[in-house]
Structure 1
Amino acid sequence: MNTRLDSEGSGIPHQDPELPPDTKGPHSRRLGLVAVIVTFGGLLFGYDTGVVNGALDPLTDDLGLTALTEGIVVSNLIFGAAFGAMIGGVLSDRHGRRHNILLLSLVFMLGTLGCVLSPSWQVLALFRFVLGLAVGGASATVPVYLAEIAPAERRGSIVTRNEVMIVTGQFAAFVINAVIFNLWGETDGIWRLMLLVALLPAIGLFLGMLRLPESPRWLVAHGREDEALAVLSQVRTPERARAEMAEVHRLAEEERVAKTAGRVDLGVRWVRVLILIGAGLGFCQQFTGINSVMYYGTQLLGDAGFSGDSAIIANTLNGAFSVIGIAVGVSVINRLKRRTMLLGGFALTTTFHLLVGLSALLMPEGTLKAWFILVFVVLFVFSMQATIGPLVWLILSEMFPLKIRSLAIGISIFVLWMANALVALGFPPIVKALGISNTFFAFAAFGVLALLFIATCVPETKGRSLEELEDDFRTRYSTPAPLREEGSTP
């Protein structure tokens, strides 16, 4: 067994163990069950962010919402998620991944019941914020749990299931809303039933997590090695579990060292630039306007010319093509360069923004105009989810050195959530003031700026080590040394 310094030169012995193969058996089925139960957190994330899409029209009629208060009700969940991601990460590190997911399932239940029983839009907005805390906490905790319990060979595919469950949750929300609205749309307060459905997966998550183990890496980091080995033995062969303990030790130590660095490095120029690029990626991803469609798609299609019943059914296409898009993206993401795929994605989304805007501006009112807008919106959603959506998360996971990774990703994700919230808050009043065409022209303008930003600032991360990326940024952004001594001959 060889040892070397880890990629950041921290002095931690890095072990390259020859692990026994990850063979199939009862432990594989156990791991699959763990992944299904834990990704209920992603399903809830998707359902709770998507359910307001179809519920907004009856909710607006019932509670008397204006364009501004619509934005507040919708965006409050996203503002809550920004803070929930930060709080969830801290609680997860302190009390354990499993403990935190159990707590989040209770917050999901509380937030859902509070929303369903809300007598006014102010109370609804408050409980949407509570629900957002759970959504953000899940976004920070579920992928970590999955990554820490999965074998290295399957880590990528297992962690990616959470992203698939998020878009599946949004699609499920659109379909369930359409069914409920078309069956009982005339019933007062029907939006409450749409929101109540989210209680079922929240209960499933809570009951399921009661039977699941803690993350082995977290247990090792807290000195509970016998428990960690017992957990690994549930989801590995006995030989693999024992061999993998050394790797778990190393990763836990790397995580401990990473948390002792970070803030002091903000004084270094190239580190600040790298973090700003990460934050910029999060901002650009959200200002594609993807969540204006995922949150307000039914209203958007209604404004485009569809009737109420037709709009909520047509909106399910956005959910379906979101799922198809993420499936396509995951299948090709490792075959193309990151920057090439990202630039192509923004070129496509910007083109479809322009086509939506031109259709809304130039075509006469009627069914044909509504269908043109629907087709271009669906193609935008597909292009976004097949490229920019998963790519931004992947690049963020690849571009930061270990010693600043926790801090840098935390800042980037916070900016991403806040940009998401700004789009959610501003979309209804902006569409009311400017119309569909000018709103999508504005998204297209942001797309052009994003293309310039990516072309000039974002590094290629595919196939490059962290050392190479760090050297590039040190060279490009470190303060240059003086060319000559003062008073010397030029």
Structure 2
Amino acid sequence: MIAGALPFISRPASQGGFDLTPATEGLVTASLLVGAAGGAIAAGRVADWWGRRRTMLGIAVVFVAGALGCALSPNLTVIIVARVILGLAVGGASTIVPMFIGELAPASRRGQLVSRNELMIITGELVAYICNAVLGAWGDQMHAWRWMLGLAAVPAAALWIGAHFIPESPRWLVSQRRHAEAHEVLRRFRHEDPAPEVHTIEHLVTKTAAAQKNSRQHLHTPWVRRITLIGIGYGAMFQLCGVNAVLYFAPTLLMQTGLGTNAALVGTIGNGVIALASTIVGLRIVAHRDRRAMLRIGGIGIICSHVALGLAFMLPASLSRSYLILALMMVFLAFNETFTSIVFWLMMSEIFPLRVRGVGMGVAIMFQWLSNASVTQMFPVMISHLGGTTFLIFAVLNIGVLAFQLKFLPETRNRSLEQLEKQLANGQSGKEPIETGAGSASEAEVRPDSGTGTGSQGYSESRT
């Protein structure tokens, strides 16, 4: 929603805004992401202590409070604080909601249901763009941004209501030794006797707890420390592609090319449509293509798109240039959502060894949020001072990001977590071909491609 609200918040006080500068535009936008970094880390611990269902109820309350706080803000300071609070809910929801889906879904459908969560996130972005365009065109121009940001309370309230009708996670119930309740929950959602599944969950919970005991000490093992640092670096570098800068500031960019506010808001809907369609395509491709190959295609496409955007901004101002820049934004989003974002959230769940997965993923996702906040803070300032050259800088940065990915990231498709861990422990890079066969019995349990087990659950825990 902030994408459509920014042009109105940036207006002078006489027109209902806070007279934002490029620096304060970035601050208002990035403040949510700083809160999200803390929310993503804290929510997992709270959910382990309090349960998934009650944590979701708490997140919904924080979400409503943050959204209403933004809508009713009397000044810049209050809206920044309110967006940090809102960010706590965003980060928490991005962790807990898909985690709950992964823990409740049957193994045969887990991948499908987790993927639908991804689709709903992108669908939510599209709905936000449409609401912004409608409010921008027909709403009260003095208070349009307040309605835009306040609308976020509606799905939050729906989450709070809906959470009263869902059961607790059977995995959490087993971890609390409430086996009878876990059995009853699974009985409602399974055709077969849930007793064996309860036993399996108990085994996995015990195994995971044992493997992750003293996880910080495992970081002293050279190969564990190396792959953990690679994952953290990957998380920090991911946002350098600039996707969220484009999503957050698309209307502002289009207005700088000469489009009016309403035309820019309507044009941004196209970005949402492309992001949704590209995600659907990417979810189909990722099951059949190697991760590194997808990163290579996506990286090259992103670099070329940034170069094209930078050159397009140098053209003489005209309506044709505005539409060209909008079209190039869509091309950029198509490459990012189809190839890069899909792979990132999958690999976050795949590359960390079990013994440090909780610590590694938590830190990597935190760095992803903080990197997102840094890019978001700097982007409007760079656009204001450098114009289209900003995209050429992004192109150069992404050459380095792609080189890092291809040099350090292992190939994870068609490898069980145990196979990958064995290769890395033996000093291999994880890129070598492996033999597949009967020895990979655990693969169905842990690979996201199979739609089962901890791999897809880890993917669902990470995506925001």
Picking from 167, 188, 199, the partner of 1:234 is: 188
**In structure 2, what is the equivalent of residue 461 of structure 1?**
412
Is the contact made by 1:80 and 1:130 (CA closer than 8 Å) also made in structure 2? Answer: yes
1:210 aligns with 2:164: yes
Question: 2:344 corresponds to which residue?
Answer: 392
Q: 2:349 & 2:193 partners in 1: Cα distance? A: 27
Q: In the alignment, which residue of structure 1 is the partner of 2:358?
A: 406
Q: Output the CA distance in 1 between the equivalents of 2:193 and 2:404.
A: 45
Q: What are the superposed Cα offsets for residues 403-458 of structure 1, whole Å, 9 maximum, x if unpaired?
A: 111111111101111111111111111111111x2110011011100111112111
In the other structure, the counterpart of 2:216 is: 263
Aligned-pair CA distance for 1:259:
3.7
Give, in whole Å, the separation in 2 of the partners of 1:304 and 1:259.
52
1:370 is aligned, of 295, 308, 322, to 322
* SS of residue matched to 1:179: helix
Aligned to 2:9, which of 36, 44, 59?
59
The amino acid of 2:162's aligned partner reads G
Aligned counterpart, 2:116: 161
Mean Cα deviation higher: 90-99 or 464-473: 464-473
Counterparts of 2:229 and 2:324, CA distance in 1: 38
Query: Structure 1 CA distance, aligned partners of 2:345 and 2:200?
Result: 25
What's the secondary structure of 2:194's corresponding residue?
helix
Decide which of 376, 400, 411 is 1:449's aligned counterpart: 400
Q: Deviations over 1:301-326 (max 9, x none)?
A: 11123222211110111111111111
> Counterpart of 1:228 in structure 2: which amino acid?
A
Structure 1 unaligned residues grouped into runs of 5+: 1-50, 479-490
Which residue of the other structure, out of 78, 87, 94, is the alignment partner of 1:123? 78
Mapped contact 1:218–1:252 kept (Cα < 8 A): no
Alpha carbons 2:224, 2:353 under 8 Å: kept: no
Instruction: Give CA deviations for 1:78-133 in whole Å, capped at 9, x if unaligned.
Output: 00000000110110111111111110000001101111111001100000000000
Aligned counterpart, 1:31: none
Q: Give the corresponding residue for 1:187.
A: 141
Q: How does 1:67-466 map to 2 (within 5 A)?
A: 67-184=22-139, 187-237=141-191, 239-361=192-314, 363-435=315-387, 437-466=388-417
Deviates more, 1:257-266 or 1:391-400: 257-266
User: What is the CA–CA distance in structure 1 between the aligned matches of 2:164 and 2:370, rounded to whole Å?
Assistant: 33
Asked if the contact 2:39/2:92 (under 8 Å) is kept, the reply is: yes
2:212 and 2:354 in contact (8 A); partners too: no
SS for the counterpart of 1:245 is: helix
Give the secondary-structure state (helix, strand or coil) at the position aligned to 2:213: coil
Offset, 1:339 = 0.4
CA contact (8 A) 1:359 1:369 kept: yes
What is the TM-score with the length of structure 2 in the denominator?
Answer: 0.89
Alignment partners' CA distance in 1, 2:271 and 2:261: 16
Which one-letter code corresponds to 2:398 in the other structure? G
Q: 1:285 & 1:381 partners in 2: Cα distance?
A: 14
The one-letter amino acid of 1:266's match is: L
Q: Percent identity?
A: 37
SS at match of 1:223: coil
- CA distance in structure 2 between the partners assigned to 1:257 and 1:108 by the alignment: 35
1:477 CA displacement = 8.0
Please say if 1:474 is aligned against 2:425.
yes
In the alignment, what sits opposite 1:35? none
Residue 108 of structure 2: SS of its match in structure 1?
A: helix
**What is the CA distance between 1:465 and its match in structure 2?**
2.5
- CA displacement at 1:203 relative to structure 2: 1.0
Question: CA contact under 8 A between 2:307 and 2:392: conserved in structure 1?
Answer: yes
Give the structure-1-normalised TM-score: 0.84
CA distance in 2, matches of 1:214, 1:192: 35
Distance 2:417 2:190 in 1: 30
- Deviation of the 1:232 alpha carbon: 0.5
1:73 CA displacement:
0.7
Aligned-partner Cα distance in 2 for 1:194–1:67: 20
Counterpart CA distance in 2 for 1:372 and 1:64 is: 29
1:349-375 residue CA offsets vs partner (Å, 9 max, x unmatched): 1111111111112x2210111111111
Secondary structure at the residue paired with 1:476?
Answer: coil
Distance (whole Å) between structure 1 residues aligned to residue 312 and residue 7 of structure 2: 24
Q: Distance in 1 between matches of 2:379 and 2:266?
A: 21
Counterpart-to-counterpart distance in 2, 1:386 and 1:337: 13
* Structure 2: 5+ residue stretches without partners: 12-16, 430-464
Matched residues in 1 for 2:412 and 2:200: separation? 24
The alpha-carbon deviation at position 469 of structure 1 amounts to 2.1
Structure-2 separation of matches of 1:404 and 1:141 = 20
Two-structure CA RMSD over aligned residues (Å)? 1.4
